[in-house]
Amino acid sequence: MRSLLRTLERATLRDIALVCLADALVGISFGAISVSGGLPLWVPVAMSVLVYAGGAQFAAVGIVLSGGGALAAVVTGLVLNARLLPFGFTVADVLDGPRWRRLFGAQLLTDESVAFTLLESDPRRRRAAYWVCGFVLFVVWNVSVVVGAAAGGLIGDTDVLGLDAAFPAVLLALVLPSLTDRRTRAAALTGAVVAVAATPFVPAGLPVLLALAGLLFAGRPAAPAAPGDDPAAVAEGEARSLAEEAH
């Protein structure tokens, strides 16, 4: 683990720590909501170890506590986690070694671990980002759920403490720097509009998947300049081409 930590930049480790802090608050909230709603302590703990998917866990527990059946809870969790299938293809290169290691690595697959992996282009840093974020987040999440479940009878209404808002607030802070790119901004805004518009009409969890439609508006990335190209000359050539097309 030390060698993996040394591979990553300090800024990356700081961002991973912030995400873990936010997840800890959400994990405490999940454990408290589950137990205070009437579920035995072992249920949220077992779900966190075996399912390990915050959104799916909240949705499943919400359905059960509102009187829904186990089948509806399972189907909802599967729909929410459908996004992890393409995520797995994007980070398959970091899961190497014996079968047991790949199976454990697959269990660590989350939105956060994938996001930090995709930020890195170097193979060593990609692997380090995935395993550091995935393993630390797994430990933090499960410990937080145990703490929340144990204190479920004392916390009562978790919404009063604002724990439900901590996770999206930290994620928004991490995403904002990426919105300076025009293509990323267009995709994010389009996805947000689609998700908000669909929320009143589709089951919980589907708006997030429908937001992927925003990728259609991201546009094609600009072609990279050749190694010997002068940026000023390239810009001048593009301006000349546009002027000729205008005439």
Two tokens, residue 112: 């956060």
* 142-167 residue pLDDT tens: 999 999 888 876 665 656 666 556 55
Q: Is the pLDDT of residue 169 over 80?
A: no
Q: Please report, for the chain, the start and end positions of each structural domain, with discontinuous segments joined by +.
A: 2-179, 181-247
pLDDT of amino acid 168 = 60
Give the list of residues 6+ apart from residue 232 with CB closer than 8 angstroms, or none.
none
Cα–Cα distances in angstroms (integers) from residue 83 to residues 13, 58, 163, 178, 180, in the given order: 25, 16, 25, 21, 25
Instruction: State the Cα–Cα distance between residues 146 and 49, nearest whole angstrom.
Output: 11
3-state DSSP assignment of residue 217:
helix
Handedness of CA 75, 28, 44, 90 (dihedral sign): positive
pLDDT of amino acid 78 = 82
CB-side neighbour CA atoms (13 Å) of 187: 16
Backbone conformation region of residue 229, classed left if phi is above 0, alpha if psi is from -120 to 50, else beta: beta
* 91-136 residue pLDDT tens: 888 888 888 888 998 999 988 888 888 888 888 888 889 999 999 9
Q: Residue 91 gets which letter from DSSP? A: T
Stated as kind and residue range, the H or E segment containing 16 is helix 10-36
Average pLDDT over residues 36-52: 88
Higher pLDDT, 195 or 103: 103
pLDDT of amino acid 205 = 55
Give the list of residues 6+ apart from residue 209 with CB closer than 8 angstroms, or none.
79, 82, 83
pLDDT of amino acid 145 = 93
